[in-house]
Structure 1
């Protein structure tokens, strides 16, 4: 049944007058009369008592049908509204995977917070995950966007957008001679140190290259908080993103700058090329601007 029939009947039932109902619908009175007759014929019910030429009253069947007709129209309008919201990306869900350094930088909170304000009905779930797992999880659809620290070799079906840039520094135990000196450290001065290596080793690799040494690896515990915990326990030193200076304070850990040209670090959003999910597409627009 065409939902227009229901709208026509509701208008007549509320006005109890064909002419006034027709005016409210923006159609002619004869056209409305024909539509109501078609509805009664299709239902094989008499919905209206025609007491005069234009005035009407509801039959018992008409009163019962009015309740259900209103409910159907309301559900239809709700379905249309929800469908349009979904097509605009205003409802739905997004699964985000991230590495700890993206959260420590504040970037993840800022960008996702802006998106939540604009699309409060989109459900966002965020998971801290090992960086090496994120590309494959994107490919199979387990997550929708990954925030990670570059460089990372990406499959051809994925693309990336750099969101922020910082530099690397060195974290050392508080009683280490370098900490007591308190000055920026040249890469060559670290040649004999034992390194605690985070999941993104880019900083250490460049330090070793500039200092012309092969690093001695003491542990690779994964996330940056675990790395700094190892440093605080005196297990070694670590080359880490400089942004951690302002967000993580641990006992027995001192941060030192690296002498020479800054070693740059980038946090990027990684996503599927040709992404079609409206909520994800909208979030990507936020990230790219």
Structure 2
């Protein structure tokens, strides 16, 4: 089912895309795509197949791998995962572990979704892949299975690496796959905060406060600009919006809101076709 999503996206030529007067962001890093989540039809496409740095959108694949492992019984939600010195040493954004501490799997999921914690991404990578490098290779292979034809992962977090590249198209494929494959886990992406070790941990995805928006993930490194993958739905219609290369989080979010306002009404109703 998930692989078919990629095929449906690939079948949409640029000539069939319903472009309008929505202006692209004035950034050389800019790329964007809007996809009807019910049909896989591309509604908007600007530079969607051009290579970009994923930044913390990478963690959507880390979560895909973790959800898959949970469902396969390879790791339990209550399992305490050890934090290595390597993981503890990852730069922010992070929860701030010391080597030898642990985090339960459910909290790890929330830390990745809400806080975009780089230390937790490495914890998960080492638990599932043995090393972060091996896990990144597993992530890349899984991406190919999903139809992410232009994505290479080098780490589980999205921290800077010149070889870690993707496209807005591929991030849309992954966003759709997460909902289709893991509807029972998808609710984690809508959390704006969570409590861990008695402390409230807040996120920074302000789009989650907007009507109809229920996930997914933001990302930023200097090389990428401000990225986001967003899912929004209303009245049986649903779209996925990926915007990459914003100069600021504010301008990126405003652009996403404009795309949602323009294209959600044009999306198909679930079960009604297009």
- Greater share of strand residues, 1 or 2? 1
User: Same fold judged by TM-score > 0.5?
Assistant: no
Q: Which has the larger radius of gyration?
A: 1
TM-score tier, shorter chain, comes to under 0.3
TM-score by length of 1: 0.19
TM-score by length of 2: 0.20
